[in-house]
Structure 1
Amino acid sequence: MVSTAAPSRPVSLGSRLGYAVGSFCTGNFTTIPGLLLLYYMTNTLAVPAALAGTVLFLPKAWDLILNPLVGRWSDRTSSRWGPRRPWLLAGAAVLPVSFALMFAGPPLTGVGASVYVGVTFLVAATGFALYEVPYKAMPAEMTRDYHERTSLLQWRMIFIAIAIGMSGILAPILADESVDGYRLMGITFASIFLLAMLASFFGTARAPFTGQQQSKGTLRAQLAAARGSKPFMWLLGLSSAQTLASGVLLAGAPYFAAYTLGDPDATSTLFAALVGPMLITMHPWTWVSRRLDKRGAMLLSGGLFTAGAVLLAAAPAFGSLYAHLVVMVMGIGYAGLQILQFSMLADVIAYDGAVSGERRGGVLTGLWTAVESAVAALGATLYGWVLAAGGFVSSDPEHPVSQPESAHVAIVVGLSLVPAVITLAGVLMTLKYDLTPARLAAATAGTAPGTTDGNGVETDAGPSTGTTAAPGAPASPES
Structure 2
Amino acid sequence: MPRLLKAAYGVGQLAKGIEHGAMNLFVLFYFQQVLGVPGWIVGLGLGASLILDAITDPLMGWLSDRTTHRWGRRHPWMIASALPLGICFALLFSPPDLGPVALGAWAITWLIATRLALTVFFVPHLALGVELATDHDERTRVQAWRVFFTYLGSALVVLGARAVFLAPSEAYPDGQLDPSGYPPLGLTFGAIMVFAVLGSAVGTWSIRHPKARIADIPGLIETISGPLRNRPFRIFITSLLLFFVARGVGMALEVYLGTYFWALGPDAVALPGLTLLGVLVGTPLWALVAHRAEKRTAYLSGMALYATTWSLPPLLELAGAFPGGPARLPTLLAVSFVGGLGGAAAVVSGASMLADITDVHEAQTGQRIEGVFFGALSFGRKAATGLGGLAAGLLLTTIDFPEQATPGTIEARTVAALGIAAGPGAGILVLIALAMGWRYPLTRAQHRQLQSSLTRELRSDAQDGAPDPPGS
Normalising by the residue count of structure 1, what TM-score does the alignment of the two structures yield? 0.88
Aligned equivalent of 1:7: none
Q: Hey, which of these two has a bigger chunk of helix by percent?
A: 2
Structure 2 counterpart of 1:340, which letter? S
Summarize the Cα distance change of 1:128–1:401 in structure 2 as closer, same or farther, 3 Å threshold. Answer: same
Indicate conservation of the 8 Å contact 1:306/1:424, yes or no: yes
Aligned equivalent of 1:197: 197
Summarize the Cα distance change of 1:401–1:162 in structure 2 as closer, same or farther, 3 Å threshold. Answer: same
Deviation at 1:423, TM superposition (A): 0.7
Aligned equivalent of 1:423: 430
Q: What do residues 279-317 of structure 1 show as CA deviations (whole Å, max 9, x unaligned)?
A: 333333223223330011111111111111122212464
Aligned equivalent of 1:222: 223
Q: What do residues 391-444 of structure 1 show as CA deviations (whole Å, max 9, x unaligned)?
A: 101138xx9993222321122112211220111111011112112223323333
- Mark the runs of 5 or more structure 2 residues left unpaired by the alignment: 167-174, 323-327, 467-472
Aligned equivalent of 2:450: 443
Among 97, 102, 113, which residue is 1:112 paired with?
Answer: 102
Aligned mates of 1:255, 1:74 — CA distance in 2: 39
Aligned mates of 1:129, 1:264 — CA distance in 2: 35
Mean Cα deviation higher: 256-265 or 46-55: 256-265
Indicate conservation of the 8 Å contact 2:162/2:270, yes or no: no
Mean Cα deviation higher: 364-373 or 280-289: 280-289
Deviation at 1:179, TM superposition (A): 2.7
- 1:129 paired with 2:136, answer no
Aligned mates of 1:374, 1:215 — CA distance in 2: 29
Summarize the Cα distance change of 1:74–1:470 in structure 2 as closer, same or farther, 3 Å threshold. Answer: farther
Aligned equivalent of 2:331: 322
Aligned equivalent of 1:258: 259
Aligned equivalent of 1:168: 158
SS of alignment partner, residue 67 of structure 2: coil
Aligned equivalent of 1:4: none
Indicate conservation of the 8 Å contact 1:101/1:186, yes or no: yes
Aligned mates of 1:341, 1:28 — CA distance in 2: 21
Deviation at 1:214, TM superposition (A): 4.5
Aligned mates of 1:281, 1:331 — CA distance in 2: 7
Aligned mates of 1:25, 1:156 — CA distance in 2: 11
Mean Cα deviation higher: 288-297 or 316-325: 316-325
Aligned equivalent of 1:366: 375
- Mark the runs of 5 or more structure 1 residues left unpaired by the alignment: 1-10, 451-461
Provide the alpha-carbon RMSD of the alignment: 2.3
Aligned equivalent of 1:454: none
Deviation at 1:13, TM superposition (A): 1.6
Among 47, 55, 70, which residue is 1:65 paired with?
Answer: 55
Q: What do residues 163-186 of structure 1 show as CA deviations (whole Å, max 9, x unaligned)?
A: 221122223551443332110110
Deviation at 1:31, TM superposition (A): 1.9
Structure 1 counterpart of 2:445, which letter? A
Aligned equivalent of 1:188: 188
SS of alignment partner, residue 35 of structure 2: coil
Aligned equivalent of 1:235: 236
Aligned equivalent of 2:73: 83
SS of alignment partner, residue 82 of structure 1: coil
Indicate conservation of the 8 Å contact 1:315/1:323, yes or no: no
Aligned mates of 2:216, 2:379 — CA distance in 1: 20
Summarize the Cα distance change of 1:401–1:115 in structure 2 as closer, same or farther, 3 Å threshold. Answer: farther
Aligned mates of 2:54, 2:334 — CA distance in 1: 37
Indicate conservation of the 8 Å contact 1:391/1:404, yes or no: no
Among 379, 388, 408, which residue is 1:379 paired with?
Answer: 388
Structure 2 counterpart of 1:364, which letter? F
Aligned mates of 2:86, 2:276 — CA distance in 1: 24
User: 1:24-43 alignment to 2 at 5 Å?
Assistant: 24-43=14-33
Q: What do residues 266-288 of structure 1 show as CA deviations (whole Å, max 9, x unaligned)?
A: 23321232122333333332232
Deviation at 1:469, TM superposition (A): 4.5
Aligned mates of 1:377, 1:245 — CA distance in 2: 11
Q: What do residues 87-141 of structure 1 show as CA deviations (whole Å, max 9, x unaligned)?
A: 1112213211011101111101311110111011111111011111111111211
Aligned mates of 1:324, 1:370 — CA distance in 2: 32
SS of alignment partner, residue 358 of structure 1: coil
Aligned equivalent of 1:455: none
Normalising by the residue count of structure 2, what TM-score does the alignment of the two structures yield? 0.89
Aligned mates of 1:444, 1:67 — CA distance in 2: 27
Once the two structures are aligned, what percentage of the paired residues are identical? 25
Deviation at 1:215, TM superposition (A): 4.0
Structure 1 counterpart of 2:38, which letter? P
Aligned equivalent of 1:285: 286
Deviation at 1:359, TM superposition (A): 2.9
Deviation at 1:216, TM superposition (A): 2.6
Structure 2 counterpart of 1:64, which letter? A
